[in-house]
């Protein structure tokens, strides 16, 4: 019981730190709330999907920005999707970079775009790491027979 | 003395020698030679020997005439003669000098002789018989003009006779006589010699050449030189007499024989271009007597196309009459050609340069435009975005727990933020128009709806007791095409202006068709009591059409739950309008048929009139200037940026119309604008009824409203407005107070969404939507709650929401149906719980209250659903979204709300889905591949209005089934013609994208990321029957 409690506290602390640091926002809560018995893996599914999509988008962006003649429409499409998906799961900081990314490619500022891409990668991998840690914690709690605490 | 003489003689002779040398031929001819640039007269003969003089054709008689009679000829002759004379004079001088010296010698000799005679008179006497007086020099003296050739042989040896014998002896005398004898002989000898010399000289003289010979020699030499110089020159030299017949021609490359030219004129010789001209030119010179040059291009068979530079000089007789012309021509064809080429090149260069300049200019302009656009983009990004951020953050902040003071501060902050945002939007609009970046959209819209909605909106935020009215004449088409957004902007601007400056009386809009747009006069505006206003050229055409469209649309929305302003309006309409309140279709159709269907462009005039403070005459001219208000005190008193009218004017002019004003101080003003609209010929009359029918179920008042729209007259009386719209109105507090809600925030809250976007549901920020949603659910609770505390249970932050909700409630009180529709939000207890969870209502009492409400709501739902598809159980929801995560999240949320959704991934698929099946609501992402949400919405709306999918097909959407199929089934047809609520889902929560959504026919929008609350609110608003 202590273990579970400890794990749960750890989980809550960790999750709160994610909110505090602005890595996640309320939307993540919304996602969590959507998870229920009928759909016990919902958060995991969505986040995994987010990882897949994001990595594909990052890859596409890197290619698009590496061209001799950058097709900013393509960049726009990618960033827009990225923004949509990141805001859907509440990856706030990733989303914010998408916003500043947009000002860069609107201005056709390649240098800025590359900088944004790097930031995007950094933020994405950061949030990915954190989320994976979070899921690990969840797994541990579940494995110990505990219940995932609900925040908010 | 003798020695001296001797010296003199020597000097003389030397001089003479020199003179003789200088007079030799070659020296002499130099003078002539210089005239002809002859440098080596000695060599010329040889050089000229080879020259053939064939090319010369000469009429020698004429030459003689010329030299004899023409001045030029005689002067030439006289020159020659002069030089000859000079030569002769020189010779004479020399001879004279020689004579002088000779005569001197003679004198000396004679003197000596006399001496001797004196001395020897005696002897002479004695020998007188022997003595022969000979004048040695006399003979010499007589010779004139002898050119002395020698000098030294004339030397006289003066020797004193040397007598050795003793003086005065016989011997002496003898010797002396002998000596004298010798002297005499010598003298005689000299005389002889002098005579011979004279003879010789005379002979020489005779031998000397005659001047004519010399002259002709000179001439020949000059002539030869001329030939030498000219032999290869491309020149023609000629002389023509006063009949312009050739008398002489020199042509190095003759094409004609002498006999073909001499004695003929130009015209007789050749034919072709230029010949006549040259002849005329020569004649002109002949007549005017002045030499001239001219370039003449010949175009003759003889030598083709050639250009000659011709010099013609007149020749005068001694009497001063012109007797002919000298003529010299040089072939300058090549030069002319080059020159022309040069000119052409220069011209081309000039053209090139002009083009370049033009290009540079346009590049410059383009750059300027680009820069301006860039500036605008920057402006909007740099100012608007952060400001929007500030405002929305503040709004979010307002949802958090705040105390009363904080809340007040926040509300000031919010309204200030909104103001600044509005100002920036104004400035941006203005600069957009001015820089030509403003793009006008042509969309179908209904003037009546627009007018009505503008008035509703204005009424909603009205804080004065004013009557707002709208008149639309029957001939105004139901639907026209124009940029509804801008038209609404103009109307809203003018109306809010009118309200601002009107303290009592009324403010209204009148729309009517101008059949002759140019003939409109001022003072036509109805309802305006003053007709003798200051002159304002009323030129504007009005667009009622724009107005009405938005009106009807907004009505719809309003009834769906948000617009409070509508309620009184409806009531009023009910009283006034006698038409069948429930229906819709019939009357609409009737109206429509009145319009001539063939009319394609209609000029509609719109008068916005008020009974306000009016505008002083002197302020009228600058009224539409930027940042200009009627007066400084006005600005102080009423505030504002002074941009509104400038924007209106620019917008109206951009749309091809005119905005004018007429006003009388203290009586009111009329702003009139006249705009052209296209009228869509495809009138889908069934459109309206369907649309309205859709709404009927919710509210009986709806029907009244629809009718209002079609009737063309709306009126918002202050009495009815009071309770709902105006904070200061007495009625409001009466109405609201019983419920015990805090009222202070109502106005700002209500005012904001209405001002910023024309649609009540168009609150731009997520927060607004949340608020409304919250409000509704909360209202439900409060309404049913028997205890007043239930409403107070919410912290002050909720006041806004509560008040909104309360209005609904109030309304519901009057009309149970509407209330129920609100209740529908909580269809099941489960969902109810959900709502309560989300809104963090933890009051168990409220929970308990929910239950009966829910029961009631389901009852009512079934009652209402006359026109709603029978399958009330599940609404058909279409989600158009391309991002997987968003789809999953949305699907999951919908599931939580108890809804199944159909998902398609882009606009094309959405259009196909709507085509093949009926949906009750569509959630549409804006940015998607293939076709974005805006276009898809336009296509769907176009179908709803026209009943066919032509627009979609035109846009490239392919349907599996022929569209006609859908019409075979009456039921399907009818239902598909309903206006489907389309909700945009966008990540850009800026007002601009909201405007875009509405302009494209969307009903509302949900900001991304989508939240349960937002979704639930949407369902509540648009699908009350299913909840």
Q: Is A80 on the interface with B (CB under 8 A)?
A: yes
Segment B285-291 shows an average pLDDT of 87
Q: pTM of this prediction?
A: 0.32
Centre a 10 Å sphere on the Cβ of residue B113 and count the other Cβ atoms it contains: 18
Which tokens hold the place of B62? 């004429």
Q: What is the pLDDT of residues A117-147, one digit of tens each?
A: 999 999 999 999 999 999 888 888 888 888 8
Mean residue pLDDT across chain A: 87
Contact A84/B883, CB-based, under 8 Å?
Answer: yes
Mean residue pLDDT across chain B: 67
Which tokens hold the place of B64? 């003689």
* SS (HEC) of chain A: CHHHHHHHHHHHHHHHHHHHCCCECHHHHHHHHHCECCECCHHHHHHHHHHHHHHHHHHHHHHHHHCCCCCHHHHHHHHHHHHHHHHHHCEHHHHHHHHHHHHHHHCCCHHHHHHHHHHHHHHHHHHHHHHHHHHHHHHHHHHCCCCCCCCC
Residue B182 has pLDDT above 90, yes or no: yes
Q: Is A30 on the interface with B (CB under 8 A)?
A: yes
Helix (H) or strand (E) holding B620: none
Segment B433-438 shows an average pLDDT of 68
Which tokens hold the place of B511? 């729309």
Distance separating alpha carbons of residues B938 and B947, to the nearest angstrom: 13
* SS (HEC) of B246-300: EEEEEECCCCCCHHHHCCCCHHHHCCEECHHHHHHHHHHHHHHCCCEEEEEEEEE
Side-by-side strand order, sheet with B304-316 = B56-58, B246-251, B235-241, B322-331, B304-316, B292-300, B272-273
Confidence band, pLDDT 50/70/90 cuts, at residue A45: confident
CA dihedral A11, A17, A19, A22 (to 10 degrees): -150
pLDDT above 90: percentage of residues in chain B: 5
* pLDDT of B724: 39
Segment B811-821 shows an average pLDDT of 39
Lowest mean pLDDT among B423-432, B809-818, B868-877, B926-935: B809-818
Which of B933, B1009, B1016 to mutate to probe the A interface, most A CBs <10 Å?
A: B1009
Q: Is A90 on the interface with B (CB under 8 A)?
A: yes
Distance separating alpha carbons of residues B415 and B391, to the nearest angstrom: 9
**CB < 8 Å to B1007, chain A:** none
Please, which residues 853-892 of chain B have a Cβ atom closer than 8 Å to chain A?
A: 882-886, 888-889, 892
Which tokens hold the place of B290? 């002045």
Lowest mean pLDDT among B402-406, B670-674, B960-964: B960-964
Residue B51 has pLDDT above 80, yes or no: no
Q: What is the pLDDT of residues A70-109, one digit of tens each?
A: 888 889 889 988 988 888 888 989 988 998 888 888 888 8
Q: How far is A37 from chain B (nearest CA, A)?
A: 12
Quote the distance between the C-alpha of residue B201 and its chain's center.
Answer: 98
* pLDDT of B185: 93
Distance separating alpha carbons of residues B1019 and B47, to the nearest angstrom: 121
Give the length of chain B.
1027
Contact A53/B885, CB-based, under 8 Å?
Answer: yes
Residue B376 has pLDDT above 80, yes or no: no
Residue B854 has pLDDT above 50, yes or no: no
Distance separating alpha carbons of residues B681 and B945, to the nearest angstrom: 12
Lowest mean pLDDT among B378-387, B671-680, B684-693: B684-693
The highest-confidence range among B9-23, B118-132, B561-575, B653-667, by mean pLDDT, is B653-667
* pLDDT of B380: 63
Contact A106/B927, CB-based, under 8 Å?
Answer: no
Q: Is B831 on the interface with A (CB under 8 A)?
A: no
Residue B281 has pLDDT above 60, yes or no: yes
The closest CB to that of B892, out of A27, A39, A83, belongs to A39
Spell out a b/e string for B286-317, using b for 16 or more CB atoms within 10 Å of the CB, else e: beeeeeeebebebebeeeeebbbbbbbbbbbb
Cβ-based contacts under 8 A for chains A and B: 66
Please, which residues 117-136 of chain A have a Cβ atom closer than 8 Å to chain B?
A: none
**CB < 8 Å to B1011, chain A:** 26-27, 30
How many CA atoms are closer than 13 Å to the CA of B794, on its beta-carbon side? Answer: 28
**CB < 8 Å to A106, chain B:** 377, 381
* pLDDT of A21: 86
CA angle B755, B757, B763 (to 5 degrees): 100
Q: Is B304 on the interface with A (CB under 8 A)?
A: no
Contact A77/B929, CB-based, under 8 Å?
Answer: yes
Q: What is the pLDDT of residues B338-374, one digit of tens each?
A: 988 999 999 999 999 999 999 999 888 888 877 776 6
The highest-confidence range among B2-11, B251-260, B819-828, B883-892, by mean pLDDT, is B883-892
Q: Is A103 on the interface with B (CB under 8 A)?
A: yes
* pLDDT of B749: 39
Cite the DSSP H helix spans in B161-210: 170-207
* pLDDT of B464: 79
Q: Is A106 on the interface with B (CB under 8 A)?
A: yes
């Amino acid at each position: 019981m202590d273990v579970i409690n400890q794990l749960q506290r750890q989980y809550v602390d960790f999750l709160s730190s994610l909110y505090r640091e602005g890595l996640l926002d309320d939307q993540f809560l919304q996602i969590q709330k959507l998870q229920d018995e009928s759909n016990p893996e919902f958060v995991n599914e969505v986040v995994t999907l987010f990882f897949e999509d994001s990595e594909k988008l990052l890859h596409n962006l890197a290619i698009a920005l590496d061209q001799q003649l950058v097709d900013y429409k393509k960049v726009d499409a990618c960033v827009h999707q990225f923004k949509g998906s990141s805001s859907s799961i509440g990856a706030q900081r990733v989303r914010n970079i998408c916003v500043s990314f947009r000002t860069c490619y609107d201005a056709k500022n390649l240098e800025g775009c590359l900088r944004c891409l790097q930031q995007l990668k950094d933020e994405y991998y950061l949030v990915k790491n954190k989320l994976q840690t979070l899921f690990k914690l969840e797994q541990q709690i579940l494995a110990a027979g505990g219940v995932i605490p609900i925040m908010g | 003395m003798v020695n001296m003489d001797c010296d003199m003689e020597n000097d003389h002779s030397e001089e003479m020698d020199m003179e003789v040398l200088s007079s030799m031929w070659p020296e002499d001819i130099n003078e002539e030679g210089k005239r002809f640039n002859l440098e080596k007269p000695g060599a010329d003969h040889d050089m000229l020997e080879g020259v053939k003089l064939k090319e010369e054709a000469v009429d020698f008689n004429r030459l003689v005439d010329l030299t004899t009679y023409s001045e030029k000829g005689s002067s030439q002759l006289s020159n020659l003669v002069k030089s000859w004379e000079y030569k002769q004079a020189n010779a004479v001088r020399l001879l004279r000098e020689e004579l002088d010296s000779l005569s001197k010698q003679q004198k000396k000799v004679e003197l000596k002789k006399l001496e001797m005679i004196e001395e020897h008179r005696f002897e002479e006497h004695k020998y007188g018989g022997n003595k022969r007086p000979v004048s040695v020099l006399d003979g010499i003296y007589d010779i004139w003009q002898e050119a002395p050739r020698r000098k030294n042989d004339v030397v006289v040896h003066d020797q004193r006779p040397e007598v050795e014998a003793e003086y005065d002896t016989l011997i002496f005398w003898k010797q002396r006589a002998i000596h004298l004898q010798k002297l005499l002989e010598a003298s005689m000898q000299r005389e002889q010699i002098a005579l011979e010399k004279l003879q010789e000289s005379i002979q020489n003289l005779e031998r000397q050449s005659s001047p004519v010979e010399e002259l002709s020699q000179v001439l020949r030499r000059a002539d030869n030189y001329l030939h030498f110089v000219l032999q290869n020159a491309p020149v023609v030299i000629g002389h023509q007499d006063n009949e312009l017949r050739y008398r002489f021609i020199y042509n190095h490359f003759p094409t004609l024989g002498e006999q073909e030219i001499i004695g003929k004129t130009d015209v007789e010789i050749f034919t072709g271009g230029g010949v006549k001209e040259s002849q005329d030119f020569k004649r002109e010179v002949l007549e005017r007597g002045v030499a001239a040059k001219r370039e003449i291009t010949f175009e003759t068979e003889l030598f083709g196309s050639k250009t000659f530079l011709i010099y013609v000089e007149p020749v005068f007789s001694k009497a001063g009459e012109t007797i002919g012309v000298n003529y010299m021509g040089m072939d300058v064809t090549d030069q002319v050609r080059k020159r022309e080429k040069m000119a052409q090149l220069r011209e081309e260069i000039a053209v090139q340069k002009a083009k370049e300049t033009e290009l540079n200019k346009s590049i410059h302009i383009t750059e300027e435009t680009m820069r301006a656009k860039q500036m605008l983009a920057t402006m909007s990004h740099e100012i608007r975005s952060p400001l929007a951020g500030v405002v929305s953050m503040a709004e979010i902040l307002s949802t958090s727990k705040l105390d009363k003071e904080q809340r007040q501060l926040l509300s000031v902050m919010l309204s200030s933020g909104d103001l600044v945002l509005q100002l920036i939007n104004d400035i941006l609009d203005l600069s957009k128009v001015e820089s030509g970046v403003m793009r006008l959209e042509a969309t179908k819209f209904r003037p009546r709806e627009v007018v009505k909605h503008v008035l509703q909106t204005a009424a909603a935020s009205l804080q004065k007791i004013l009557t707002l009215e709208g008149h639309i004449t029957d001939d105004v088409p139901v639907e026209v095409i124009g940029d509804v957004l801008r038209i609404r902007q103009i109307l809203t601007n003018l109306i809010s202006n009118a309200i601002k400056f009107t303290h009592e009386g009324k403010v209204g809009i009148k729309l009517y068709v101008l059949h002759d747009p140019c003939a409109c006069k001022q003072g036509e505006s109805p309802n305006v009591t003053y007709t003798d206003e200051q002159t304002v050229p009323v030129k504007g055409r009005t667009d009622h059409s724009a107005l009405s469209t938005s009106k009807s649309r907004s009505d719809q929305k309003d009834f769906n739950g948000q617009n409070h302003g509508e309620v009184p309006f409806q009531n009023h309409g009910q009283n006034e309008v006698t038409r069948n309140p429930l229906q819709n279709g019939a009357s609409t159709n009737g109206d429509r048929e009145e319009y001539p269907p063939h009319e394609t462009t209609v000029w509609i005039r719109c008068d916005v009139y008020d009974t306000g403070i009016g505008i002083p005459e002197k302020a009228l001219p600058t009224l539409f200037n930027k940042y200009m208000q009627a007066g400084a005190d006005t600005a102080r008193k009423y505030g504002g940026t002074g941009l509104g009218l400038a924007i209106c004017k620019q917008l109206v002019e951009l749309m091809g119309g005119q905005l004018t004003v007429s006003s009388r101080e203290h009586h009111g003003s009329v702003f009139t604008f006249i705009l052209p609209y296209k009228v869509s010929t495809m009138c889908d009359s069934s459109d309206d009824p369907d649309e309205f029918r859709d709404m009927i179920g919710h509210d009986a008042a709806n029907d009244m409203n629809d009718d209002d729209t079609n009737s063309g007259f709306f009126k918002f009386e202050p009495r009815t407005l009071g309770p709902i719209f105006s904070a200061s109105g007495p009625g409001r507090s009466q109405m609201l107070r019983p419920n015990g809600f805090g009222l202070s925030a109502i106005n700002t809250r209500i005012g904001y969404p209405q001002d910023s976007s024309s649609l009540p549901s168009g609150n731009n920020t997520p927060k607004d939507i949340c608020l409304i949603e919250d409000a509704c659910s909360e209202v439900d609770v409060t309404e049913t709650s028997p205890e007043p505390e239930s409403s107070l249970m919410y912290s002050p932050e909720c006041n806004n929401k509560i008040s909104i909700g309360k209005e609904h409630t109030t309304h519901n009180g009057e009309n149970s149906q509407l209330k129920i529709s609100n209740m529908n939000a909580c269809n099941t207890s489960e969902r109810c719980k959900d709502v309560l969870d989300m809104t963090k209502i933890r009051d168990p009492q409220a929970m308990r209250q929910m239950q009966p409400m829910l029961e009631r709501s389901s009852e009512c739902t079934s009652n209402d659903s006359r026109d709603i598809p029978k399958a009330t159980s599940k609404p058909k929801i279409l989600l158009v979204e391309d991002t997987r995560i968003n789809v999953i999240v949305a699907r999951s949320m919908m599931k939580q709300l108890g809804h199944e959704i159909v998902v398609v991934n882009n606009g094309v698929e959405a259009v196909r889905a709507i085509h093949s099946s009926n949906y009750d609501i569509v959630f549409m992402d804006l940015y998607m591949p293939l076709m974005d949400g805006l276009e898809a919405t336009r296509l769907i709306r176009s179908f709803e209005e026209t009943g066919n999918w032509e627009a979609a097909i035109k846009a490239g959407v392919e349907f599996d089934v022929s569209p006609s199929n859908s019409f075979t089934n009456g039921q399907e047809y009818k239902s598909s013609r309903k206006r489907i609520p389309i909700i945009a889902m966008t990540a850009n929560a800026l007002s601009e994208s909201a405007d875009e959504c509405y302009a494209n026919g969307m009903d509302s929008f949900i900001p991304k990321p989508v939240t349960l609350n937002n979704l639930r609110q949407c369902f509540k608003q648009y699908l009350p029957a299913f909840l």
